[in-house]
Amino acid sequence: MGRIKRGGYIFVFWIGDHPPRHVHVFRDGRLIAKVELATELTVMDGKLSSKVRKILKELIVEGKLK
């Protein structure tokens, strides 16, 4: 399991989780969104703000979400 805190959000992912590759986004202990990483950040559940989308793109570029 991976867990990254950034911008007031917590991004949680599991290496051996079921496909498609995705990340769970939490804020204040509540699930905000579930986002597929294999595509151009497709939202599987919830809503994704532009701030969270930007943070996710930064984490991908940094190699923290592969």
pLDDT digits (tens, 9 = 90+) for 12-24: 998 777 778 899 9
- pLDDT confidence of 53, banded at 50, 70, 90? very high
Distance between CA atoms of residues 32 and 62, nearest Å = 22
Question: pLDDT tens digit string along 2-50?
Answer: 999 999 999 999 877 777 889 999 999 999 999 998 888 899 999 999 9
Distance between CA atoms of residues 34 and 50, nearest Å = 15
Q: What is the dihedral of CA 53, 57, 63, 66, to 10 degrees?
A: 60
